[in-house]
Amino acid sequence: MSRRTWILVAVPVVLVLGLVLGPLAYAALQDDAPPAETVQAQAEDAELVAQTDGTWTVGDGSSAGYRVDEVLNGADVTVAGTTDQVTGTVVVEDGVLSTAEVTVDVASITTDSGRRDSYFRDSVMDVGQHPTAAFVVTGPVDLPELTGTPTTVPVTGELTLTGETREVQVDLGVVRTPNGVDISGSIPVTFADFGIEAPDLGFVRVEDQGSIEFLLLLET
């Protein structure tokens, strides 16, 4: 085979291999998102906040977002998007969680991919029409004595995504801290229940089940 013929054969083969193996190699290099942040046990000698009754607001350092499994060019990847644009209030009276409302600025949620984030904002969540998501606890919840050791508190609430509201259950992790009360949780969701179509673009497909995650640092 002449050098010219070899080049004419080799170049298309290399291009084809690049088109086929390149995306697979890219997918293989993608790391799963780190685990969600959760409440942490406090030091034994920590001076914890004196009382937990009162009206609490979501403070700095709080976060919320989503976690989904993608199939990217045949490789499974876990993706998480987060934002610190979270607001809300929690009211505790006589050891009872009487009200809790949390609102998240959906447009500010980001992952490690700007292209993914743009598609999420515009095509999946339609933030122009539905700029926020919300979680509201329904009904009073008796709280155990809160200490510096995290405890689990099951609650029922209403989750609103893209203007659709559904009842959900979530186990909250709750801990008393020197600055207030920290709360974390992960709400399992089926996106179709909220009228959200999981993306399927051929080279990437998102599972229809995922979770809404949050870490709330409450302060007075």
Nearest to 213 by CA among 127, 120, 102: 102
Instruction: Clarify whether residues 130 and 70 are in a common domain.
Output: yes
Instruction: Clarify whether residues 95 and 77 are in a common domain.
Output: yes
**Can you tell me whether residue 28 is helix, strand or coil?**
helix
Flag whether pLDDT at 81 surpasses 90.
yes
Instruction: Clarify whether residues 7 and 99 are in a common domain.
Output: no
Q: CA-to-CA distance for 56 and 147, rounded, in angstroms?
A: 17
Instruction: Clarify whether residues 19 and 47 are in a common domain.
Output: no
Flag whether pLDDT at 65 surpasses 90.
yes
Instruction: Clarify whether residues 50 and 6 are in a common domain.
Output: no
| Domains in the chain, number | 2
Instruction: Clarify whether residues 14 and 46 are in a common domain.
Output: no
Instruction: Clarify whether residues 159 and 189 are in a common domain.
Output: yes
Mean pLDDT for 5-22 is 39
Q: What is the pLDDT of residues 16-54, one digit of tens each?
A: 333 333 333 333 345 899 999 999 999 999 999 999 999
**CATH assignment of the domain containing 90:** 2.40.128.110
Per-residue model confidence (pLDDT) at position 73: 79
Nearest to 102 by CA among 111, 91, 90: 90
Using alpha carbons only, what angle is made at residue 22 by residues 17 and 26, rounded to the nearest 5 degrees? 160
pTM of the predicted model as reported, rounded to 2 decimal places = 0.85
Instruction: Clarify whether residues 160 and 136 are in a common domain.
Output: yes
Instruction: Clarify whether residues 14 and 42 are in a common domain.
Output: no
Instruction: Determine the length of the chain.
Output: 220
Per-residue model confidence (pLDDT) at position 26: 38
The pair phi, psi for residue 118, each rounded to 5°, is -65, -45
Nearest to 66 by CA among 76, 80, 78: 80
Nearest to 83 by CA among 61, 60, 116, 110: 110
Place of tokens 């084809």: 16
Per-residue model confidence (pLDDT) at position 10: 38
DSSP one-letter string for the chain: --HHHHHHHHHHHHHHHHHHHHHHHHHHHPPPPPPPP---PPPTT----S---EEEEE-TT-EEEEEEEEEETTEEEEEEEEES-EEEEEEEETTEEEEEEEEEEGGG-B-S-HHHHHHIIIIIS-TTT--EEEEEE-S-EEPPPP-SS-EEEEEEEEEEETTEEEEEEEEEEEEE-SSSEEEEEEEEEEGGGGTPPPPB-SSEEEEEEEEEEEEEEEE-
Q: What is the pLDDT of residues 184-220, one digit of tens each?
A: 999 999 999 999 999 898 888 999 999 999 999 999 9
Q: What is the pLDDT of residues 91-133, one digit of tens each?
A: 999 999 999 999 999 999 999 999 999 999 999 999 999 999 9
Per-residue model confidence (pLDDT) at position 31: 81
Mean pLDDT for 162-189 is 98
Instruction: Clarify whether residues 87 and 184 are in a common domain.
Output: yes
Per-residue model confidence (pLDDT) at position 1: 53
Per-residue model confidence (pLDDT) at position 74: 83
- Percentage of the chain exceeding pLDDT 70: 86
Flag whether pLDDT at 15 surpasses 50.
no
Range of the domain at 52: 32-219
Per-residue model confidence (pLDDT) at position 11: 40
Q: What is the pLDDT of residues 131-149, one digit of tens each?
A: 999 999 998 999 999 999 9
Instruction: Clarify whether residues 76 and 62 are in a common domain.
Output: yes
The pair phi, psi for residue 137, each rounded to 5°, is -75, 130
Instruction: Clarify whether residues 99 and 17 are in a common domain.
Output: no
Per-residue model confidence (pLDDT) at position 62: 98
Per-residue model confidence (pLDDT) at position 17: 34
